[in-house]
Chain A
């Protein structure tokens, strides 16, 4: 198998293997730990009878590999949950049942997903524009005051935790200046204008931090490209510096930036957890923190799997985009 189709296929198989490996690791870490797994899974206020049912559901008497197999089949094909009086069916992809809230984990996540997607995708637009713009500008204006100013600002943004920027923005903009009300999530489908206004500060907080990473990356990548021979040739031909920077150097510098954006999905999700908690947005980040605090194991495990899925997906897409953007990449 060769060519682009083969590359795609190999990349897809690789992603699936990584996902399977993640599921093994997550299972071993969370369900094969010492201690009463059934009790932890069920939650602190479960009766002995319920705990016994959970132990049966998890097939705790079986050897580890069988238990994992059961978990995996349940994940892919769905499974039935007996709650003593009734039987609930959890259809594929089944992430299990939260015994504490009597809800299916997938439903919990799906209910919170629009909030997190609104936050991350909106912020992503901002951080790409801000980050790449800053990086290009500081590479173009290298050695001048503009570059030093931008580098300083970038470093400051890079060194500030997202919750500190968010906290300061919230206090200054909402508390002192009263330019905006304290953010409250409004659904996009209910009122697009209010949706955007309320998300403005969370977007800014998350984007400012992430933009710093992109600015650094873009700048370094641009400087590297600008030092290459073909750029020197353009200069010798008398092509305007602006044309060189925007048309030629940026194109060569963009591939690493694309890769970074995908590799950054994990870090952005981490940032989103903090942003959601700070601004009280009811997204999956806030739900995860809640689940950790009340030790709702099925929700925690489901979240890790879903987030791992997104990260692996993003990385695979990035590899493909990278290959498309930069033809010099050897397809392996």
Chain B
């Protein structure tokens, strides 16, 4: 039962006083609902890297996990394209020193397989005061940030509605392939939307426990959609102690 386990994770995070679930836990939660996430390992120090990455396929991504860091790339808390354990260890040491200099406390380190290139998309969720859980789809980067090119639906959504959301985006031609670029898998993208916003999905199941979710970016390729970064904002502690 992913919903019960996920609720336990969110309640535990809230009991620790967290407002945002850390990235490894958020990704594990999403994966339990069937959303594809990169293979990952959590390490405490550079010394653990050798033993941890042998099961992961390069190139790697290294991220610092810290409740103090919201936009990782803004503070240099993410490095991509690392080729082996040696580069990972070096990057970790550099990052540790740089973040310490900014007085940012790092709880642990996340090593992931780097997602293949694709179109950067966004899936989001909010708990609306009037309608309850709502799911959002959009194209990543400038499309979502500047153009606000997004589409919302009230949960739970059906697969047909997920495809309609994508069709509404002004940037939809980028998904279908344009200017020599191959099309991405709309099916995989719709599938991720349904696993997050559909019946029994993340948002309908956890509406009482979380207030917002951002999957940004979700990298969509010709055959899959991979949640590369996930942010889950917890609900107010009012529901705490409820059965």
| A and B: interacting chains | no
- A interface residues, Cβ below 8 angstroms from B: none
- B interface residues, Cβ below 8 angstroms from A: none
